[in-house]
Amino acid sequence: MERPDFTQFSGNIVLWGAGKIGSVVAHVLKQKGITALAFVDINERKQDTVYCGLPIISPESFLKNYSNAHLIITTVGRDDVVEWLKTNHFSRYYDAWSLLLEFDFGDYSEQNQMYMVRMIDRYFRTILRCYKINPKYVAERLKSIITSKCSLRCKECIMAMPFLKSSRHISCDEVILDIKTVLDAIGHFDDLELLGGEPFLHPELDKIIAGLHNESRVNTICIATNGTLLPTPESIEAMKRDSRILIRVSNYGSISQKCAELEELLNKNSISCEIKNFKNWYKRPLFGKTDENDVALTKKFMACMNGCGPLIWDGKIFLCACPWVFIETAQPIEANDSFLDLRNADISSSELKQSIYDYINRTNTGKFITACRYCSGSPNSDFANEIPAAKQFKE
């Protein structure tokens, strides 16, 4: 793959995509003493504002005023940008991946660093897909919902937790069994995320952590919490024994009332934590039958699958949260591919492994799930789709 020397274009570079990856690329260019002129972004609400010290312009303005510039694409919507550029006969465009390989977080402060590492991972997965290069593993990230009980009741919960027919914890043994079943099929995950609801409500969280201690096929074990609770002393002890543990705290301001105390507790015990301050979320997908054709459905599915990773819940693996929500909130749709049964005793273990591999690999091949026909897809992360984070039912 081409690794252009961007120094030769200094003073004549435009970046397409005034988002998170764009902020990193602008930072790398600055570190290297390379001057960029502007960002292009299709979002009209971003246009005519300034981002990372650069003006944001429209695609039309780019063609009109910067037709001799060199363009670096800094968005995971890369294929759409390339299509637009080709239609408009612009050929001096490049991908940003080589700049991201050299990124030094030293003085970067636009976004939380660990969060950005995940974003960059996702960007690389998109690039591999665009270049038709098979990644080493079919997915980097695996999520396991260990409980559907939560300490908050968010109106816009993506997992619809407040709307479930009933809430429950998944037993420690079942959580471990299901994770190992998926690992046997896939081989390795960079990131295993234990989710809820609120995982700190799970009475066996310490045992789950201990049960994963000898599982060497994951690099990082993240526990996602909403900052309303502290873990039990037993869980703290279990976390201390595993340096791969990372507590990912979503801080929703005043309702995440234990956030500061939690951070102090984790720091005191040398347990890694990543705090992300959320003022806004993005809208949930809308549910309702669509009449999109297979090409549109494939595109929508792949946009949603952008490195987010499959989801385990109670012996089933899902490719995204929507079919899970359909089932758990009793909105059944006619689909035999909403999930895969991880505890299917009717097939051999090698058949089960292959079927898990094939199912997860749909996130690379673009074989969309039937649920996509009933769903608007994950909205773009632009201002128009922003909603206040974690609004509670009682507010």
Task: Give contact residues for ligand SF4 (rule: CB under 6 A).
Answer: 150, 152-154, 157, 159, 161-162, 196-198, 226, 285, 300-301, 304, 320, 322, 369, 371-372, 375, 377-378, 390
205 in Cβ contact with 176 (< 8 Å): no
- Measured from the CB atom, the residue of 109 and 166 that comes closer to ligand SF4 is 166
Kindly report the backbone phi and psi dihedral angles of residue 339, in degrees, each rounded to the nearest multiple of 5, phi listed first. Answer: -155, 170
Smallest gap, in angstroms, from Cβ of residue 161 to ligand SF4?
4
32 in Cβ contact with 6 (< 8 Å): yes
- Measured from the CB atom, the residue of 99 and 372 that comes closer to ligand SF4 is 372
Token duo for residue 293? 């054709």
Angle between helix 349-365 and helix 172-186 axes, rounded to 10 deg: 70
* Residue 23, burial from CB neighbour count under 10 angstroms (0-12, 13-18, 19+): buried
- Measured from the CB atom, the residue of 31 and 380 that comes closer to ligand SF4 is 380
Helix segments in 312-387, DSSP class H: 321-328, 349-365
210 in Cβ contact with 238 (< 8 Å): yes
- Measured from the CB atom, the residue of 215 and 292 that comes closer to ligand SF4 is 292
Smallest gap, in angstroms, from Cβ of residue 233 to ligand SF4?
23
Smallest gap, in angstroms, from Cβ of residue 113 to ligand SF4?
23
Token duo for residue 172? 């420690």
Smallest gap, in angstroms, from Cβ of residue 368 to ligand SF4?
6
Q: Which helix (H) or strand (E) holds 336?
A: none
- Measured from the CB atom, the residue of 77 and 162 that comes closer to ligand SF4 is 162
- Measured from the CB atom, the residue of 25 and 152 that comes closer to ligand SF4 is 152
Smallest gap, in angstroms, from Cβ of residue 134 to ligand SF4?
21
Please give the full DSSP string across 289-316, using - where no structure is assigned: -----HHHHHHHHHHHTSS---EEETTE
Smallest gap, in angstroms, from Cβ of residue 296 to ligand SF4?
10
